[in-house]
Amino acid sequence: MKIIDNEEYKTGSKHKLLYRFSLILDRLKEKYRKLPTFPKLLVTSLPFVFSISIIAFVSYKIITDIPDGSNLNISQDIQAENNNNDISINLDNIENPKTHTNPINGNLMSKEQYEDMIKLPPIGIMMDNQTEARMQSGLDRADIVYETLVEGGITRYMPIFWTNSPTVVGPVRSARAYHVSWIAEYDAILGHRGYALSTNPDVSFKAIAYTVSLKDMEDTLPSWRSSDKPSPHNLYTSIIDAKEVATEMGYTGKYTVPSYSFKNDANYENRGDINQIEISFIPGYSTSNDYVVNYKYDKDNNFYKRSIGGEIHIDAETNIQLSPKTIIVQFCKFEQTFDSSAHVIFNTTGTGDAKIFMDGKEVSAKWEKESHLDRTTFTNSNTGKEIVFNRGQIWISILPEDRGTITVR
């Protein structure tokens, strides 16, 4: 090892800077020793203060770079699903965890949403489905939709709204006695314009409405007519406005609905391969083809894309194709009265057969409804167990048990 003496250290070109720096340090040390006690403490603390300042600045940058809660979609209900060996996690807003279930269709909601929803009863709207009325508004926002025959082989809808309040719903049309039996399951309001008149108690709307103490919103339903469709296929309403009227009519409270059992979607590998469902309500009428319904199963999204009369069925407000999560085909006893208005009768109580389509599979089922006020239940024909439905919109098509047909591919 080479030893560098003091003279070489001071004069060597390589060490001149180091030597001068050491002299400066020596002078600083000497001045520091001569400082009074308080200034000496301040000088000593400077490195510590500087370090703390750096840490605080870095921490601030890290915190401010984290997205705020409004941009996150996190919930108490964390659903992890293994699709093709990839784990996907669905998170909702952590500030409003979805801890409550909509008893109509199983959708999850926060406590605040649920408590706000049950202040008023659900609202059903009678909706036109003649070709002149298409495409309809508001069907994609309904919790559940009923679809069945009226006169002349045409069908009509009864969407029920509780979760959502669309501002445009329609076209609105008249109701029949059997619609009252189904809406009574929910202790709901029925909005309509007109109804079936008859001395036959099985046909008379008013007779059954009186029996179940129907919350009837006919004359009081807020409505307007559009200019883009001919009358009577152009009458519309708003669920927001209907709720205001319901409040004025005193229909406020804390409402409950008997709930089905619900589950999350099946994992992708457990979904079936039934791709097409065709429903014909009453073959043989000249207009029958206009009311044939087709569903195409979307396995990736696990819902059923709907078409009507050979056309993709979209919502007129959103231009989105109607795509329910669960399809129920319910067979009921059916009678034609051959009265002056050609009214028909559906037996809505008792028992009968049904087909349930969800998760790409078909399940044979039995339906049962003890009275007009009871909710229709569905059980597996093979096991006798209650059907557990997927969360999301349910579409119920009621067919004559001896006339309606289903084709599955």
Q: CA torsion, points 261, 239, 329, 334, in degrees to nearest 10?
A: 120
Average pLDDT, the chain: 86
Share of the chain above pLDDT 90, in %: 71
> Is the dihedral angle over the CA atoms 135, 136, 140, 144 positive or is it negative?
negative
175 pLDDT band (50/70/90 cuts)? very high
Count other C-beta atoms under 10 Å from residue 396's C-beta: 21
Closest CA to 291 of 165, 144, 403, 212: 403
- Quick one: pLDDT at residue 73? 40
Task: Enter the tokens of residue 239.
Answer: 């669920």
- Quick one: pLDDT at residue 9? 41
More confident of the two residues 42 and 258: 258
List pLDDT tens digits, range 295-324.
Answer: 999 999 999 999 999 999 999 999 999 999
Q: Among the listed ranges 21-30, 101-110, 131-140, which one has the minimum average pLDDT value?
A: 21-30
For the chain, the domains span 6-64, 124-408
The residues with which 89 forms a beta bridge, in sequence order, are 80
Does 380 have pLDDT greater than 50?
yes
Q: Among the listed ranges 12-21, 206-215, 288-297, 311-320, which one has the minimum average pLDDT value?
A: 12-21
- Quick one: pLDDT at residue 50? 60
Does 3 have pLDDT greater than 90?
no
1 pLDDT band (50/70/90 cuts)? very low
Structural contact between residues 90 and 79, judged by C-beta atoms closer than 8 angstroms: yes
Closest CA to 238 of 321, 320, 141: 141
Which class does domain 124-408 fall in? alpha beta
Count other C-beta atoms under 10 Å from residue 184's C-beta: 24
β-pairing verdict for 189-191 and 215-217? parallel
Closest CA to 364 of 372, 350, 376, 352: 352
Average pLDDT over residues 61-65: 50
Query: Residue 69 gets which letter from DSSP?
Result: G
Does 197 have pLDDT greater than 90?
no
Structural contact between residues 395 and 382, judged by C-beta atoms closer than 8 angstroms: no
Closest CA to 265 of 387, 385, 389, 365: 389
- Judge if pTM exceeds 0.85: no
Extract the runs of DSSP E, i.e. beta strands, from 211-308.
215-217, 224-225, 235-236, 261-263, 276-280, 293-298, 303-308
More confident of the two residues 379 and 18: 379
SS percent in the chain: helix, strand, coil, step 5: 25, 30, 45
72 pLDDT band (50/70/90 cuts)? very low
Average pLDDT over residues 29-42: 62
Count other C-beta atoms under 10 Å from residue 197's C-beta: 12
Average pLDDT over residues 218-233: 96
List pLDDT tens digits, range 241-287.
Answer: 999 999 999 999 999 999 999 999 999 999 999 999 999 999 988 78
- Quick one: pLDDT at residue 131? 96
Does 291 have pLDDT greater than 50?
yes
β-pairing verdict for 326-332 and 350-358? antiparallel
Does 384 have pLDDT greater than 90?
yes
The residues with which 278 forms a beta bridge, in sequence order, are 294, 407
List pLDDT tens digits, range 83-133.
Answer: 444 444 454 556 789 999 999 999 999 999 999 999 999 999 999 999 999
> Is the dihedral angle over the CA atoms 23, 29, 33, 38 positive or is it negative?
positive
